[in-house]
Every structure is written in structure tokens, then in C-alpha cells.
Amino acid sequence: MRWTQTLIPTLREAPADAEILSHKLLLRAGLLRKLAGGVYTFLPLGLRSLRKVEQIVREEMDRAGAVEVLMPALQPPDIWQQSGRYESARDVLFKVRDSANREWLLGPTHEEVITLLAAAEINSYRQLPKNFYQIQVKFRDEIRPRFGLMRAREFIMKDAYSFDVSDEAAQVSYQKMYDAYTRIFARCGLKTLPVEADTGVIGGKFSHEFMVPAETGENEVVYCDTGNYAANLEKATSQGPITPTPAVSAGAAPERFPTPGVVTIEALASAPYNVAAHQQIKTLIHVVEGKLVIALLRGDDQLNEAKFAGRLGTATFRAATAEEILEATGAHPGSLGAVTSTRTKPEIKVFADEVLRGARGMTTGANEDGFHLRHVDMERDIRVDEWADLRTVRAGELCVSTGQPLKIRRAIEVGHVFKLGTKYSEKLGALFLDEAGARKPAVMGCYGIGVTRTLQAVIEQCNDKDGILWPMSVAPYQVCITPLNVAADNPGMKLAETLYAELTARGVEVILDDRDERPGVKFKDADLVGFPLRVSIGEKSLAKGEVEIKPRGGGVTPVKIEDALPRVLGLVQESEAR
RNA sequence: CGGAGCGUAGCUCAGCUUGGUAGAGCACCAGCUUUGGGAGCUGGCUGUCGCAGGUUCAAAUCCUGUCGCUCCGACCA
């Protein structure tokens, strides 16, 4: 490809609406342009890299035994009503109407469609296992699109769905996908960390997210240096808080004491009260499907909403308003008391975090403005309906499996593998007959990769001050040939043309920078776009019978003209093999 | 949806406080010079000042509304 033939609108400065580095580079390197918030056009170079990521995904999915299909983006709403997700997923559903005013959905994902297909076409255990995948545009009415391709309204996803005869067989399918994902991200040049992930309200143990460590990531990953434990913060557990919970009885009964104006854990922890946060009980009230629920945590702990949702069996809950709390308990939120509210309101279900088990000598609100209770004993003074792990792990706590201190860092989720079970196959009738002639629902798994997000994650991870450093596997072009004088009769340009033709003929993807620009402009652009190899041809080296080969991010190597072709071929092959 | 901020040339931004009829750099076009890391000089083009209403003799500037965008939170690949 000739530079002047394609469109590579590089920018010296990044548009003001790009915040993170990878988003700026996507725009500056001329890979992408925004049409509207969360909606983008891929320019020629961006599309080339995107296609390469897709091709890697396709090859590895095929190798893992999955088969490619293409499902419609447009879906009838009634299948979403059948699965129950018309309501539960309504916040992300894009709805459109046809000329007959009938409603349609733009697919945010395809469990319903594929399960109906399986229901219609798979009848016997002899047809299983099956794994269908597609690479397709998804639509999600994101509450807040951001960071370019990281969270878009319209994005490209690879989604796969496996169908198996049993839990054990589904586990095999799951492992195949897990292994395929490991290969896919490695081939894209990404360092990923597979982490145990929250399974949401479906439950179960089998879900992993593939994370790219990055400060700009929207997830937090808990891990320990042994490499034997990594989990999403939503899922992570530990041996418990570093400071132990008081367990010594400090009085025969709770004692009320005045605390005028104190409505926060912090205020009670400071002078003149000096009740450390870990000696306090935090009382949180949520509204779950119209009913109030109490969650008790140690004062210095944070409620982990994902864990709470898993325990409740629903993700649709919210913090109660100050009015609701006052009406139900007679206290304002800051003075809410675990003792009174759990004892006097039997209709409110009480969950307590495991860390509070056996706690004694605790302090909590008196359920009365301006007063707290001390010498509170969990077992003696508080009614608990269910004990549960509800707290969010903090860095420095010890790992349950390795005993090492846990660390927390931010990461980008690029893939998710999930054992679904029979939720969809039951609701949508994906049943088969087993060897004994019994009708059974297929055991499903689903596996997603954010293809466009992966592309941006590569840029987020592979860059320097000058621009992108594409891994050879996903670079828009492998080699950029840069003649410094582009006059048709110039010996350097003639050599560039020859080399361009020879490399292209051997299957190397080459872009020839045939622009009549100053050398500095060409070098800066080549670095910004990030082609893995650059071959520069100018008067100086030409006079010595040489050209220059420069890997992006590396130093210049002078090479004899006749050696240029084999050297470039060798370097391309070498970095592809890696 | 809650909180914060921003909309002026293709891009980055100034001008707004204190109303007087729109600017700079880069980009783009032409010419000359230059030619190994985003050149120099000369000349030129570029705007419904996001949109609508209001106040005023006069609005980019003040007021109201509205739309869009960005950031923080809940959701997710």
C-alpha cells in the first residue's frame, strides 16, 4: 500500500475528548474517528489491525473445535421475554420500531438466539458437544460510554456458546475455551491475567475473566505474587482483616452513651470517642424487591455489592433512602443501630458479615440521634438471620490459598468465560434425549471476547512517548518503507519501489511512505502509527551502498542494499514466531 | 440517573469577569527557499461563537431553556 493512496490522518495533538493514552493514540495515529459518543468509524489502518485480531480469534476458536455462525443483530423482543431478560437487562437494550410500529431489539448478546437454534436443531446426545461462535457487532445502551473503544455503544464481540450433555462434559468445553483464550491474547501480544470472576446471580464456581493490567482499567484485580491466586475484587476472599475483631466482653449489657452530632464511622473513631473503626458495627439498609434488608459489617469494611447480590439471589437492590430508613427504624441513617433495628424489627431480614462472628465489646449506633451503644456483643445482643462473606478484600490481607499478602491493581477485562448451566436451555427448550431416552436440558457455557476492546488494550499496553509499538501479529502493516526523496527518478525511490515489490510478492505487508514530506514528518508519523519495522532509504546511507533497518523502539542498523530483503524477511518471520 | 466540567476555524486553545460585531498556533492552498526527526519567509482560505429564546441601541460575552461531549459513581466484552 502506498501512503498517499490510503487515508492516515495523523494528528499532532489529541482531540480534547480523549482522556486515556490508548484512546488518544487511536485518534492521533489515524486509526479511528468518532461519529457520536460510543460510536466510531474504523479508518483503513484501524480496520487492518482489527481484522488481524479477529483472525487470531477465529483461528484459535476453530482450533478449539468451535464452529462459526453469524446471528442477526436484530432480535424480536419476545425471545427476551421468554428468558426473563427483557426486564432484567432492560437498561442496556436498544429498542427500535419498524414501520408497522413493532418493537425490535438490537442484540447486546445472543444467548437467546443460539439457545433457540439449539432447541430447534439439536435433539440427541449424539449431536453433542457443540460450540458455536460468531464475531459480530453488539449494541448496548451503555449508561456511560467512555474511553473510546473500551466501553462503546456499538462494539465488536466474539461470543461463543457451548452445549453439552452433562456438567462434566461442560467442564471440558469450558477448559478448552480457557486454553484458547490464553493463546489468543498471547498471540495478540497481550500480557493477560486470568482471574476468578463473580458469577452474578446465576451462581456457580466457574467463571474467569481475562484481565490486562492497566491503570486505566475499570476493574480491580486481587492477586498474590506466587501467581497461584487472582480474582476480581468482586469475588476475592482473604483470611480476613489485618486487625482482629474484638472478642472480649466489655460489659454485661450494651451501654448507651452520648455522641452529639456523630453520624459517621470516622467521627466516632476520632477524639474524644476514639472508638477504632474495626471496633464498630456498620448497619446498612437496602431495599430488595420492595423489602428492607439489613447488612451488618465491621466499621472499617466496605460492602461488596457483587457478593451481596449473589447472596440475595438478585442484583436489583438499592440503598434505602433516608426517609425509608427513618420510617422503618425511627432513626436517621447516621445513628442507625444494629442492636435496636435487629431486635425490634423481626420483619427485616438481617445479614451479617463473617468477620463479626463472635465479636464482643463492639460499638454501634443507638438508633437514636446523638447516642451510641458500647459493650455490644454480637451473639448476645444482635439477631442475625444469615452469616455471609459480604466484605470487600483490602490489599495486604493474607491469601486464603497461599498465605501471602494480597495486592490489588486495576485491569481491563478483555475476555470472560462462564459456565452457564441450564438456565437458558430450560427456559428456551434446548432439550435433548440422552442414551437412556430421557429428555434433558443441554448444559451451556458462554464465552466472550471484546474484540474492539482487545485492540485498544494492545495499544494501552504497547506504546512509548512517540506512539504505538504494534506487536507484529496485529500491526496494520508489518513494514514501513521510508524513502526520503520520492522523486520518481531518484535512486532511493527506485530502490524503495523495488524493495516494496519484492517484499509484497513474498507476502509481507508493506506500506510505502511515498509522501513528498520532510524526513522528520515521515519518521514521526511512522513512530506514531507504530509499524514494527521501518526501512529508511536516504542519500547518506545510499552513498555507502546501504539502507537502514529500524525496529520500532529499537536502534538503527545499516544493512547492505543486497542484504535488505533477506534481513527484513528474517525479522518479520522471527517476530511472528514469537 | 445522581455529582462535576466543557461547547469559539479541521485540531489545540485565547477572547467572556467589565457587552461594542472574532483571534493565535498548528493544519490547509499558492509561491520561493529548505531537505536525515513534526522547516523558514511571503501571501491566501477557513467560523450559523452548539441550538433556541430573552435582556439590550448592541450579545461569543449577561439571563433562561435545550442539545451534545468529557470526567466521577451504579452496569458490562
Q: What is the pLDDT of residues A222-253, one digit of tens each?
A: 999 998 999 999 889 999 999 999 988 878 88
Does residue A398 sit within a domain? no
Q: Is the ipTM of this complex over 0.85?
A: yes
Residue A129: asked if its preceding bond is cis (omega within 30°), the reply is: yes
User: What is the span of the domain harbouring residue A434?
Assistant: 21-237+408-459
Q: Which residue is nearest to nucleotide B70 (CA to C1')?
A: A17
Cell numbers representing residue A492 in the block: 532511493
Would A399 be classed as within a structural domain? no
Instruction: Give, in degrees to the nearest 5, the angle at Cα A240 between A237 and A246.
Output: 155
CA gap A445, A95 in Å, rounded: 27
- At a CB cut-off of 8 Å and minimum separation 6, what does A494 contact? none
In angstroms and rounded to an integer, the radius of gyration of the C-alpha atoms of chain A is: 30
Instruction: Report the nearest residue to nucleotide B1, CA vs C1'.
Output: A143
Name the nucleotide nearest A91; use CA and C1'.
Answer: B75
With cell 425509608, the residue in question is A324
- A172 shares a domain with A35: yes
Residues in CB range of A258: below 8 A, 6 or more apart: A370, A371
Within-domain flag for A538 = yes
> Hunting for cell 436484530 — which residue is that?
A74
Beta-bridged to residue A130, according to DSSP, are: A163
Q: What is the CATH number of the domain that holds A311?
A: 3.90.960.10
Instruction: Return the closest nucleotide (C1') to the Cα of A451.
Output: B77
Based on the domain organization, do A77 and A221 belong to the same domain?
yes
Q: Is A172 helix (H, G, I), strand (E, B) or coil?
A: helix
Nearest nucleotide relative to A542: CA against C1': B36
Beta strand pairing call for A510-512 and A479-483: parallel
Nearest nucleotide over every DNA/RNA strand to the A92 CA, judged by C1': B75
Question: At which of A459, A485, A500 does a domain end?
Answer: A459
Q: Output the CA torsion sign for A61, A63, A64, A67.
A: positive
Which residue from A483, A485, A484 is spatially nearest to A498, judged by alpha carbons?
A483
The domain boundary, picked from A388, A419, A444, lies at: A388
Which parts of chain A sit beneath pLDDT 50?
A: none
B38 closest protein residue (CA to C1'):
A521
Count of structural domains, chain A: 3
* Dihedral, CA of residue A424, residue A95, residue A142 and residue A180, to nearest 10: 40
- Are residues A101 and A225 located together in one domain of the fold? yes
Residue appearing with cell numbers 460492602: A303
Q: How far is the CA of A15 from the C1' of B17 (A)?
A: 28
E strand segments, A301-365: 317-319, 349-353, 362-365
| Same-domain check for residues A31 and A103 | yes
Closest nucleotide over all strands to A523 (CA to C1') = B37
* A339 plus A448 within the same structural domain: no
Domain boundary among A388, A419, A441: A388
Has residue A66 been placed in a domain?
Answer: yes
Q: Which nucleotide is nearest to A539 (CA to C1')?
A: B36
| Claim to verify: residue A260 and residue A379 sit in the same structural domain | yes
- What is the CA A349 to C1' B40 distance in angstroms? 78
pLDDT at A368: 85
pLDDT value at residue A205: 64
Element (H, E) at A439: strand A439-441
In whole angstroms, B26 C1' to A216 CA is 29
Closest nt by CA–C1' to A519: B36
pLDDT of residue A323: 78
Residue A31 CA distance to nucleotide B2 C1' (Å): 35
- A197 nearest nucleotide via C1' and CA: B76
DSSP state of A246: P
CA of A543 to C1' of B3 (A): 65
Do A41 and A137 fall into the same domain? yes
* Closest CA-bearing residue to C1' of B71: A19
Residue A228 φ/ψ, nearest 5 degrees: -95, -5
| Omega cis (within 30) before A241 | no
Strand B contact nucleotides, protein CB < 7 Å: 1-2, 11-13, 25-27, 34-39, 68-77
Spatial distance from the CA of A320 to the C1' of B52 (Å): 40
Say if A2 falls within a structural domain: no
Per-residue confidence (pLDDT) for residue A203, from 0 to 100: 57
Residue type, A247: A
Look at residue A100 and tell me if it is in a domain: yes
Going by C-alpha positions, the residue among A69, A229, A190, A47 that lies closest to residue A135 is A69
Q: DSSP secondary-structure letter at A249?
A: -
* A11 part of a folded domain: no
> What grid cell was written down for A253?
449489657
**Residue A114 near residue A66 (C-beta atoms within 8 A):** no
CATH number of domain containing A219 = 3.30.930.10
For the CA of A15 and the C1' of B65, the distance in angstroms is: 29
Burial of A69-81, coded b for 16+ CB within 10 Å and e otherwise, reads eebebebeeebbe
CA of A251 to C1' of B77 (A): 54
pLDDT score recorded for residue A202: 62
Q: Are residues A363 and A505 in the same domain?
A: no
- Cβ–Cβ under 8 Å, residues A148 and A18: yes
A220 and A342 housed in the same domain? no
**What b-and-e string marks burial along A402-415, b requiring 16 or more CB atoms within 10 Å of the CB?**
eeeebebbebbbbb
Give the domain CATH number at A549.
3.40.50.800
State whether A379 and A446 are in the same domain.
no
A16 CA, B57 C1': separation in Å? 39
Contact between residue A149 and residue A453 where contact means Cβ atoms under 8 Å apart: yes
Distance between the alpha carbon (CA) of A458 and the C1' atom of B14, Å: 37
CA A257/CA A337 separation, integer angstroms = 13
Inside any domain, residue A306: yes
By 3-state DSSP, what share of chain A in percent is helix, strand and coil, each rounded to 5?
35, 30, 40
CA of A296 to C1' of B46 (A): 64
Q: What is the pLDDT of residue A429?
A: 95
Return the residue matching grid coordinates 480491580.
Answer: A220
Q: How many CA atoms lie within 13 A of A505 on its CB side?
A: 7
| Amino acid of residue A181 | Y
Q: Does A271 share its domain with A312?
A: yes
Task: Give me the amino acid identity at A578.
Answer: R
Instruction: State whether A226 and A285 are in the same domain.
Output: no
Q: Which nucleotide is nearest to A558 (CA to C1')?
A: B36
d(CA A156, CA A135): 7
Q: What is the DSSP string of A380-393?
A: HH---SEEE--BPP
